[in-house]
Structure 1
Amino acid sequence: MTAVAGTAKTLAESAYLRIRDAIRGGALPPGTRLRFAELQDLCGMSVTPVREALTRLTAEGFTTVEENRGYRVAPLSIEELWDIARSRQLIEGEALRLSIAKGGADWEGALVSAHHLMKRIARTTQQAPTVVDEDWNHRHNVFHRSLILACGSPILLSISESLYDRADRYRRLSWAIPDNPRAIEEEHELIFKSALARDAEAAVTYLRVHYERTAQQVEAFLLNKAQPDVSI
C-alpha cells in the first residue's frame, strides 16, 4: 500500500509541475478552459493525478473552478498583481533583513555564486529578444532565494517561494516588453552589493523598488491590453 501511495503522489506531483509550467510559460494562456483529456495527453497519465494536480493549482491561484463548467487558467488582474507585489515586498523584505543579520560566510559565498552565475548568461534569447532564457530564469530564482536563505525561518522561505511562483506569470509580461528601458541587471547589482555590505536598509529598499517597477510595468501592459509573446 505504501508503494502504491508513493507512486500516486509522485504522479500527482509530476502532473502538477507540468501543468503549472505550461501556465507559467504561456502555453496555457489566462482564461483557457482546461479539458481533462488534453491535460492527460500533456502529462502522459490518467485522469486521477491530473485531477489532484488541478485541485492543488486551484488552491495556489493558478487555476479556477466553476460549478458545472470545470477548470480554467486563472485570469491576470491588476488587483492580484499588486497584491502579490506588496506581499513580496513585506515577506521578502523581512526575510532579507533577517538573512543579512544572521547570514555567515556560507550565505555570502552562496549569494556571490548565485549572482555570478546569473550574470554569466543573457537574460533573453538571441532568436527572440522578448523571450526570457529559461536557464537565466532558473538562475534568477536561485539568486533571489539566496538573498533570503539565511533568514532562519522555514515558514518565511515557504511563503516567499509560493509568492515567487505566483508572480512568475506577471514577471514574464514585464520581461516581454520590447525595448524595455529598465536596467534590471543594475537593480540586481544594487540589491546584491547592499546585502554583502550588510546594509539591510539599503538592500530592502532596493528590493522593494525592484518589485515596484516590475508591477508598474505589468500594470501598464494590462491597462493597454497588450498581448506580448510570453511563450517558452
Structure 2
Amino acid sequence: MHKMQKYEGKVMTESPPLVEQAFERLRKDVLTGVYPAGVKLKIDDLQEAYGISSSPLREALSRLAQEGLVRADERRGFRVASISTEDLADITRMRLVLDVQALAESIQLGDDAWEASIVAAYHRLERVESRLGDGPLQLDDEWGTLHREFHLSLLAACPSERQRKWSASLFDQAERYRRYSARYRTTPRRKSNEHKKIMDAALKRDNEVACALLHDHILGTQRSVLSVLKVMTLEEQS
C-alpha cells in the first residue's frame, strides 16, 4: 500500500521504492508472457523499457529468481524460466503438498473474518467471470488477480506465514503456465462451479471434501496445460 504524505497543504501518494516498482512490473510481465519463457532479460533493455536504473532491476531479478520465475547465471545473466512438463509436474506436486494442508489447517482454525473474506473473494471473482464471454479462455488480468485472491483467501487462516508465502509463489508459477496454455487453447471455455464447491465445503468445515476438491482442482489445471503443451510439442516436431 502506498504511503500518504502532505506537501504544501496537499495530500500526495508516495511512490513505492524503485526496487519494489521494478519487481512488480517485471513480475507481471513475466507472468503474462510479455517476456516469453527462455528469453534473456538484458539490463540495458529493461532500463529502457521501465525507466529504472540497473541496481533496482538487478535486485528485482534476484527476487524473481528466488521465486523460480527467472533463472540466474553468473556468466549469462538472467533468463525467464523455461516451460516444461517436468517443471509443471514439480509445481503441481508441491501445491498438492502445501495448499491442501494449508486449507485443512485453515478450515480448522479459521474464524468468521476468514469465512467472510472467502465469500467476498468468490463474489468478486464470480462477477468478473460472468462478464467473460464463452469460447476460448480469455486472458483477463482482472480475472487473474481475483482468481489468485480467492485461492489465497482459502489458505489465509493457515498459521504458517512461510507456508502461505510458498503457496502464493507456487500459485504464481502455475499461473504462468495457465497464461501460456490459454494463448494456444482452441477448445471452448467451460464455466464451472469448482470454486463454489470448494468454498461451500470449506464454509461447512467439511475438511475431507474441501481438500479433495482442491486436490482435483489443482490436478485439473495441470491436465489442461499438459494437453496444450503436448499439441505445441507435436507442432514443433512436425
* TM-score class, shorter: 0.7 to 0.9
Are the equivalent residues in 2 in contact too, given 1:124–1:131 (CA < 8 A)? no
1:178 to 178, 181, 186: 186
Indicate whether 1:121 and 2:143 are aligned.
no
TM-score (norm 1): 0.86
Indicate whether 1:147 and 2:154 are aligned.
yes
Higher RCO (Cα < 8 Å, 6 or more apart): 1
Indicate whether 1:60 and 2:55 are aligned.
no
Q: Distance in 1 between matches of 2:132 and 2:189?
A: 17
Give 1:46-85 correspondences, 5 Å limit.
46-85=53-92
Q: Distance in 2 between matches of 1:124 and 1:86?
A: 32
For structure 1, which segment, 66-75 or 216-225, has the greater mean C-alpha deviation from structure 2 after superposition?
Answer: 66-75
Distance 1:135 1:72, change over 3 A: same
Give 1:1-232 correspondences, 5 Å limit.
10-122=17-129, 129-176=136-183, 177-180=185-188, 182-183=190-191, 185-225=192-232
Gaps of 5+ in 1: 1-6, 228-232
Gaps of 5+ in 2: 1-13
Give 1:164's aligned amino acid.
F
TM-score (norm 2): 0.84
Distance 1:69 1:173, change over 3 A: closer
SS in 2 for 1:122: helix
Give the count of matched residue pairs. 219
Query: Offset of 1:152 from its aligned partner?
Result: 2.0
1:54-83 Cα shifts (integer Å, max 9, x gaps)? 222222221223343322111111111011
Q: Distance in 1 between matches of 2:150 and 2:182?
A: 17
Query: Offset of 1:206 from its aligned partner?
Result: 0.5
Q: Distance in 1 between matches of 2:158 and 2:166?
A: 13
CA RMSD between the two structures: 2.4
Give 1:132's aligned amino acid.
L
Q: Distance in 2 between matches of 1:220 and 1:19?
A: 28
Are the equivalent residues in 1 in contact too, given 2:139–2:182 (CA < 8 A)? yes
Give 2:22's aligned amino acid.
A
More strand by share: 2
SS in 2 for 1:149: coil
Are the equivalent residues in 1 in contact too, given 2:135–2:187 (CA < 8 A)? no
1:136-162 Cα shifts (integer Å, max 9, x gaps)? 111111111111111222122111111
Q: Distance in 2 between matches of 1:103 and 1:226?
A: 44
Q: Distance in 1 between matches of 2:115 and 2:137?
A: 32
Q: Distance in 2 between matches of 1:135 and 1:215?
A: 22
Query: Offset of 1:28 from its aligned partner?
Result: 0.4
Give 2:94's aligned amino acid.
S
